[in-house]
Amino acid sequence: MTTIDRDASGPEDLQKLHNDLAEVWANPAGLKALTIVNHTTLGLRFMVTGMAFFLIGGILAMLIRTQIATPDQGFLTPEIYSQVTTMHGTVMMFLFAIPILEGLAIYMIPKMIGARDLVCPRLTALGYWCYLFGGIILSFSMVLEMAPDSGWFMYTPLSSSEYSPGLGSDFWLLGITFVEISALSAGVELVVSILRTRTQGMALNKMPLFAWYILAMALMIVVGFPPLILGSILLELERAVGMPFFDIAGGGDPVLWQHLFWLFGHPEVYIIFLPAAGIVSTLIPVFAGRPIVGYGWVVFAITVMGFISFGLWVHHMFTVGIPQLAQAFFSAASMLVAIPTGIQIFAWLATLWLGKPKMKLPMLWIVGFLVIFVCGGLTGVMLALVPFNWQVHDTHFVVAHMHYVLVGGMLFPLMAGLYYWLPLFSGRMPSETIGKWGFWLVFIGFNATFLIMHWTGLLGMPRRVYTYDTGLGWDIFNLLSSIGGFVMSAGFAMVLIDIALHFRYGKPAKTNPWNADTLEWANKLPPTPYNFVSLPTIETRHPLWEHPELPQEMEEGKHGLASADHGRREMWGTDPLTGKVREIIHVPSNSWWPLFAAMALAIVCISLLLRWYPLAGLGAAVAVVFLLRWSWENGVHPKAAPNANVTPGDPPLHSRTMDGPGVWAMTTAMIANGSFFLSYLFGWFYLWTISPEWRMPETSPLSLIALVIAGGALMGGAALMEKSVRGLRKQQERGLAFNFYGAALLGGIQFALILWVMVRANLAVTETSHDAILMVGLYYALLHSALGAVLSLLQGLRVGYRYVGLHAPFEPVVVAYFWRYNVVVFWILVVALAVLPRVIGG
Amino acid sequence: MKAIVQRLNLTHPGHFVGGLTLWSIWFVAIYGGLSVACAVVPPEPDQGAFNHINITLLLLSLVTAVLLAGLAWGCFQEAKQHKGRQHFNAFVSAWLYVFSALGVVFVAGPMVGLPPCL
């Protein structure tokens, strides 16, 4: 693509380029700062908010340790203690660990892969607001002393309305689901950004390892979170409406919740670990002064972990009464995961061995990680053995193991990364002295707390008991653990003081202060909103080691896309495998819509909590209107990219092609949707085959004929959408609007028929889980038919406004993908819900 | 055989996920199959480990392991013939197929000794 000879142009030209970029990518101040969609700002907001929740979670941990420091304590009541333990786990896992790592990825990925932003900036903003509002709603339950108290995994029936009649469980279910919208948003756009916006020449095998880790994490979020979203919806429906999904008497099964929770919960451990390991794989080569040993083996290990972690969920359920052979499958699979973990650890050790490590502050935290995580991994292999697992189940041994893995495997690398990238965030260096004090206090305090907790557990102390009698042999160990906990807190206080002080007293950082190899250090310190003045061609894994002059050249606008007078926010759209440039991706600018949509969703969340269903319905409708309006300002809309002019020699804008990032985003979103759907099918077949009181009616209440006609309408609509796309590929746009309106009409017919089937079935949703789960399936199909119809209708309208046509053929491709998905899942649903019961019977 | 290997395009990074996807499908099939079979057609408890359920699951495992081993072999062949990006892709895929095949053998191992529905 274009490489600009800036030497020939004067400094005025360069200054104009900087000014143009600054104007196009400007972040507004004041109230309008709420409209910012830029990844740098939002990544920082995610991380700062995550740190705030970390402090809340930490205070809760100290309350726990104070209560059980000595026997027979009355510092907390049993009710409050249960709330505190539940919220400690919930806050740390859902409001701190995942969001802060997502924030780091959101901040870092575009800078590392040579892009100017993530591919869907408004989705980043929506994700942030959903996270913030969901976190506030959930945390507010503590202020009201109504916090959830059934443990962070909310096992049924303890969390069901019979045993948890207050609003605590509802706060958890609705708040967490809200927060998970945020996680899924980040997951989708990180996948697409890494695959489609790497700078020119950056083939997959030249990508920084951190990007590999984040790609795996993001895909795991996309697949792993929907089972919990489904579980939360089902449990909330059971609590609010009385649909007995987890109630044995109504044909449900409480173990279904455990399956759905751990289908999410175990991969989540790796969702947290992988980005942290990505930090380790980034930092060790920098401080060892050499490339990582076994780049390909590390990619191998990342891929294996991403998959195998989904095959381990039952090892959290070894004591619920599963056949021994099935336990053996999961025990073996749990041991398999030690192989990729071991490969990474040996790759890191070999890199240190062959390099010349410099023990700077970030490296201290890395060494701490290696020690603690290896210990946590070893106790993990112990827990994978079924007989040992039975012995220590629900004891402090499990709590200690979990903290060794999560704190060792996530928090230590995160702290290393925080110190490493601090000069990028602020332009200043941290204090080595205060930082080392912080590290040693945390390291000593952590081991004093949790190493000792292994022994408390082996002596039989159960988890989540609010007190214990003296004389059981636990007294001294609990006291030492509590002292260790407070030492660790003092360490984190030192770290916070160091970070706070460095903004004022830290030495200004020089360019690339750690002599790193990756592109984020080609930014200014701190970075501009557009990251890079020009986008380089990168054909090496170590661009700054091999081309130290690169940051200067990029700053002088000597590489690609060095123009902004067109007013668009641009970056390269590249081939996911080779890194060859395909198109110019233009991303939207600042907007109120993400905030407004998140506020409407927050109203839905609060209304559902308070059982104000009409207001919840109104809020949902308003949210849909906001989201559709947001989607309207796309492509050639005057607020997006009405002008398609590009520099001669550059590729076209993505909205003028048929393979922009939206297609990839839709595909990735449908993977998440498919995971939700498969979880639903799992629930249906699980209850059918396992639930002891399952009641299948003699004849299916669903009209098969009506469903088949509805399927016919759906296929007709999908065919019209495909015809439109084929026509656009052949440069024909005749009848485009007609096809879209036709598809919308057929989608409407499908909607009406499903509604008719639903009403006619007269399902007793509060009496049997069979009818309840049928109803959920029908609602799923109903929502999808409605969405397909509305999206096609909007496409028809956009043809009229000339936002879609031969000049802008992109959007129909995206909508056609959705219709394809609809066709597949609808027929699977018909077979599963209406055909198989007729063939097999109850 | 050569034609099959060429058609599979084993230097494509899609094969990074190919072996583990097959492993996952196999894993769901044996766990789900075991659960359904134990609910619908449980064997007599005195039959021990060698009964219709375990034998069926073992055969499925054998077929899966052989398929994965074959794909690993194909990837190694491709890796030898290429350099750079394509070598990297085929080489990493090959070891992922090897891991998946060994993963099938390792996880299926208990079927030889444990009865299915106890």
Q: What is the pLDDT of residues B76-112, one digit of tens each?
A: 999 999 999 999 999 999 999 999 999 999 999 999 9
So what's the pLDDT on residue B5? 74
Distance CA A566, CA A760 (A): 57
Instruction: Give the burial string for A428-456 (b: 16+ CB within 10 Å, else e).
Output: bbbbeebbebbbebbbebbbbbbbbbbbb
Whether A544 shows a pLDDT value over 80: the answer reads yes
So what's the pLDDT on residue A31? 96
Q: Kindly state whether A381 is in contact with chain B, defined as any CB-CB distance less than 8 angstroms.
A: no
Q: Kindly indicate whether the ipTM for this predicted assembly is greater than 0.85, answering yes or no.
A: yes
Structure tokens at A394: 């629900």
Q: Kindly state whether B117 is in contact with chain A, defined as any CB-CB distance less than 8 angstroms.
A: yes
Facing residue for A304 by CB, picked from B20, B110, B111: B20
Torsion of the alpha carbons at A77, A81, A82 and A83, rounded to the nearest 10: 100
Domains of chain A, residue spans: 631-840
Q: What is the pLDDT of residues A150-204, one digit of tens each?
A: 999 999 999 999 999 999 999 999 999 999 999 999 999 999 999 999 999 999 9
Cβ–Cβ pairs < 8 A, chains A and B: 90
So what's the pLDDT on residue A413? 97
Amino acid at A203: A
Query: B34 vs A326: CB contact, 8 Å cut-off?
Result: yes
Whether A3 shows a pLDDT value over 60: the answer reads no
pLDDT band at A529 (very low <50, low <70, confident <90, very high): very high
3-state secondary structure A70-137: CCCCCCCCHHHHHHHHHHHHHHHHHHHHHHHHHHHHHHHHHHHHCCCCCCCHHHHHHHHHHHHHHHHH
Distance CA A379, CA A78 (A): 30
User: For chain A, how big is the Rg over CA atoms in Å?
Assistant: 27
Position B7 in a domain: no
Q: Average model confidence (pLDDT) for chain A?
A: 95
* Residues A269 and A406 sit within 8 Å (Cβ to Cβ): yes
Residues of B in contact with A311 (CB under 8 A): 23-24, 27
Distance CA A338, CA A196 (A): 32
Position B5 in a domain: no
Query: With pLDDT > 90 as the criterion, what percentage of chain A qualifies?
Result: 93
Q: Is B33 exposed, middle or buried (0-12, 13-18, 19+ CB in 10 A)?
A: middle
Distance CA A7, CA A833 (A): 69
pLDDT band at A842 (very low <50, low <70, confident <90, very high): low
pTM of the model: 0.95
Distance CA A142, CA B21 (A): 42
The neighbour count for residue B39, using CB atoms within 10 Å, is: 12
CA distance A676 to chain B (A): 16
So what's the pLDDT on residue A451? 97
pLDDT band at A10 (very low <50, low <70, confident <90, very high): low
Query: A689 vs B106: CB contact, 8 Å cut-off?
Result: no
Distance CA A714, CA A821 (A): 11
3-state secondary structure A628-697: HHHHHCCCCCCCCCCCCCCCCCCCCEHHHCCCCHHHHHHHHHHHHHHHHHHHHHHHHHHHHHHCCCCCCC
Query: A690 vs B35: CB contact, 8 Å cut-off?
Result: yes
Whether A781 shows a pLDDT value over 60: the answer reads yes
Query: A205 vs B89: CB contact, 8 Å cut-off?
Result: yes
Q: Would you tell me which residues 201-220 of chain A have a C-beta closer than 8 angstroms to some C-beta of chain B?
A: 203-205
So what's the pLDDT on residue B47? 86
The neighbour count for residue A534, using CB atoms within 10 Å, is: 22
Residues of B in contact with A203 (CB under 8 A): 85
Facing residue for B96 by CB, picked from A204, A300, A328: A300
Q: By 3-state DSSP, what share of chain A in percent is helix, strand and coil, each rounded to 5?
A: 70, 5, 30
Tally the domains of chain B: 1
Phi, psi for A163 (deg, rounded to 5): -105, -15
Mutate to test the interface with A, among B10, B27, B41 (most CBs of A within 10 A): B27
Q: Kindly state whether A690 is in contact with chain B, defined as any CB-CB distance less than 8 angstroms.
A: yes
Which CATH number among 3.30.1280.10, 1.20.120.80, 3.30.930.10, 1.10.8.60 corresponds to the domain A631-840? 1.20.120.80
Position of tokens 């085929």?
B90
Residues of A in contact with B22 (CB under 8 A): none
Residues of A in contact with B92 (CB under 8 A): 296, 299-300, 303
Whether A4 shows a pLDDT value over 60: the answer reads no
Higher pLDDT, A646 or A466: A466
Q: Average model confidence (pLDDT) for chain B?
A: 92
Structure tokens at A368: 């701490």
So what's the pLDDT on residue B105? 97
So what's the pLDDT on residue A2? 45
Structure tokens at A306: 């991403």
Provide CB contacts within 8 A for A558, sequence distance 6+. Answer: A3, A4, A5, A6, A534
3-state secondary structure A690-744: HCCCCCCCCCCCCCHHHHHHHHHHHHHHHHHHHHHHHHHHCCCCCCHHHHHHHHH
CA distance B4 to chain A (A): 23
The neighbour count for residue A737, using CB atoms within 10 Å, is: 18
* Residues A90 and A138 sit within 8 Å (Cβ to Cβ): yes
Instruction: Give the burial string for A489-512 (b: 16+ CB within 10 Å, else e).
Output: bebbebbeebbeebeeebeebeeb
Whether A324 shows a pLDDT value over 80: the answer reads yes
User: How do A581-587 and A569-574 pair as beta strands?
Assistant: antiparallel
Distance CA A91, CA A99 (A): 11
Amino acid at A386: V
User: For chain B, how big is the Rg over CA atoms in Å?
Assistant: 17
Distance CA A10, CA B43 (A): 85
HSE (side-chain half, CA atoms, 13 Å) at A104: 30
Position B3 in a domain: no
3-state secondary structure A375-397: HHHHHHHHHHCHHHHHHHCCEHH
Distance CA A784, CA A796 (A): 18
Q: What is the pLDDT of residues A263-319, one digit of tens each?
A: 999 999 999 999 999 999 999 999 999 999 999 999 999 999 999 999 889 989 999
Whether B118 shows a pLDDT value over 90: the answer reads no
Enclosing domain of residue B32: 13-112
Q: What is the pLDDT of residues A637-676, one digit of tens each?
A: 998 888 888 888 899 999 999 988 999 999 999 999 999 9
Position B35 in a domain: yes
Whether A341 shows a pLDDT value over 90: the answer reads yes
Structure tokens at A54: 């970390």
Query: A577 vs B13: CB contact, 8 Å cut-off?
Result: yes
Whether A502 shows a pLDDT value over 80: the answer reads yes
So what's the pLDDT on residue A25? 96
Search chain A and give the residue with CA nearest B49.
Answer: A325
User: Which whole-number Å values give the CA distances from A629 to A131, A265, A593, A596, A787, in the listed order?
Assistant: 22, 35, 8, 11, 14
Distance CA A611, CA A622 (A): 18
Distance CA A26, CA A589 (A): 9
So what's the pLDDT on residue A649? 86
Query: A336 vs B103: CB contact, 8 Å cut-off?
Result: yes
| DSSP helix/strand/coil, A508 | strand
Q: Does residue A526 have a cis peptide bond before it, meaning omega lies within 30 degrees of 0?
A: yes
Asked which of A123-132, A329-338, A361-370, A587-596 is least confident by mean pLDDT, the reply is A329-338
Position B106 in a domain: yes
DSSP A26-54: PPP-GGGGGG---HHHHHHHHHHHHHHHH
Asked which of A2-6, A71-75, B29-33 is least confident by mean pLDDT, the reply is A2-6
| DSSP helix/strand/coil, A561 | coil
Distance CA A239, CA A244 (A): 9
Q: What is the pLDDT of residues A392-450, one digit of tens each?
A: 999 999 999 999 999 999 999 999 999 999 999 999 999 999 999 999 999 999 999 99
CA distance A314 to chain B (A): 10
Query: A332 vs B99: CB contact, 8 Å cut-off?
Result: no
User: Which whole-number Å values give the CA distances from A689 to A9, A686, A827, in the listed order?
Assistant: 74, 5, 21
